[in-house]
Structure 1
């Protein structure tokens, strides 16, 4: 197997491990890194089949977790955007004693709509996958235009589209993770500090999720007004402020 690669930025005493979302790569963290690298040691991850790890092949989320555990330090705070939130919940669930805390941005313990739980239908995610399979870059471009809430930012679009297309197998694994993983019970019982940072106008994670999560005493939950799924690109100062407060309280 080819060697898994990651980027390390900053020299802080606390480790942050950043996990991107479905069909994107670590470029989505551009502004978060600029605001946090002075305080932390950041491990910037491209998941297998993406970015600098494009040619690394995995078969399921268990393979991803094994690779991350082997290559990332213990006693770290894991931050996941979108699908990345499911992955950080998975690693915290499997190795709770090695995790200082987890932060979920525009994510949910369960993406799929269920009885008494807000989410989206499986059909929506199947359609997104089908569109990416047919025309990946067009699908991502259209998604960005919707989730940026009609803000024109050609630099960001160019930055986020300026990479090799992820392996279809990895995108399909991402679909399977979204459809099958459910960490509601884990979130309810775990003693690991958890923070959710959600966007009011997020069409992927319905805003009703915030009102349910905030009732869980184990969870810190923030709802950023007028923010969509791409809030890490536009509301990064507010996000970083919440991250700093959360980490300060668990040190």
Structure 2
């Protein structure tokens, strides 16, 4: 798995979401590398890890354990947050704190939990088989919904590059989102957890903010009204304020 490491200081691990790659964190890494040792990963099947198509928490462990100097601060976006929650169950000693951005610990809707409907997930799964590149681009469009939509979509397309991730890895990522329920992991996490959710997210319903507040406490949840699925792009000032508070807590 491809990793990029820059800067000096405590370890800070950044995990991107479905269909993207580590370049989505370029601006953030540039801002933080003066105070942190920033570790960015291309998830299996994505970016320069495109030849590694087994996408799950277990496949991240060998690469990360060779570079982590001790307990780290973690930021996981969307699918990256779900993988971080899985890792927190397998390697709890790795976590100093965990920031979860636009992350629903139970992405698929359940009778008692807000999420993406089974019909939408099934449509994405079918679309990935039939028209993979169009489905990937549709996802980027949903990610950009909310304030500053045009600018966010332009930034996402630029960092995503011209070639879509490996189709097998995208399919595994969709299956993980459809099946995983990490609510228990969030409640069992011994390190501090901080959620950042967007009020206009096209993939994580606004009601998730209230739902996760029940899991880990209302003081762990921040919501940005008008933000979509990529608040670090659409509302960078508010995102950076939230991030600094998480890292300095």
Distance 1:97 1:201 in 2: 34
Shift of 1:127: 1.7
Which residue of structure 1 aligns with residue 5 of structure 2? 8
Preserved contact between residue 10 and residue 37 of structure 2 (Cα < 8 Å): yes
Q: Give the structure-2-normalised TM-score.
A: 0.88
Aligned counterpart, 1:172: 171
Change (3 A) 1:72 1:118: farther
Q: Say if 1:157 and 1:211 are closer, same or farther in 2 by CA, change over 3 A.
A: closer
Q: Secondary structure at the match of 1:246?
A: helix
For 1:246 and 1:115, the matched residues in 2 are separated by: 32
Give the secondary structure class of the aligned counterpart of 1:197. Answer: strand
Alignment correspondent of 1:82: 78
Q: Deviations over 1:43-83 (max 9, x none)?
A: 1110111111111242x525323334434403111211111
Name the CA distance, whole Å, in 2 between partners of 1:66 and 1:106: 23
State the alpha-carbon separation in 1 of the partners of residues 81 and 48 from structure 2. Answer: 21
Unaligned runs of 5+ residues in structure 1 are none
Q: Distance in 2 between matches of 1:114 and 1:145?
A: 25
For structure 2, list consecutive stretches of 5 or more residues without a partner in the other structure. none
Q: Contact 1:191–1:218 (CA<8 Å) still a contact in 2?
A: no
Alpha-carbon distance between aligned partners in 1 of 2:34 and 2:229, rounded to the nearest angstrom: 26
Cα pair 2:143 2:203 within 8 Å, conserved: no
Name the TM-score, length of structure 1 as normaliser: 0.87
Q: How far has the Cα of 1:157 moved from its partner?
A: 4.7
Shift, 1:158, TM fit: 4.1
Match of 2:180 in 1: 181
CA contact (8 A) 1:112 1:121 kept: yes
> Partners in 2 of 1:168 and 1:141 — Cα distance?
13
Please tell me the root mean square deviation across aligned C-alpha atoms, in Å.
2.2
Cross-structure match for 2:103: 107
Runs of 4+ deviating beyond 6 Å: none
Residue in structure 2 matched with residue 240 of structure 1 by the alignment:
240
Structure 1 equivalent of residue 149 of structure 2: 151
Secondary structure of the 1:207 match is coil
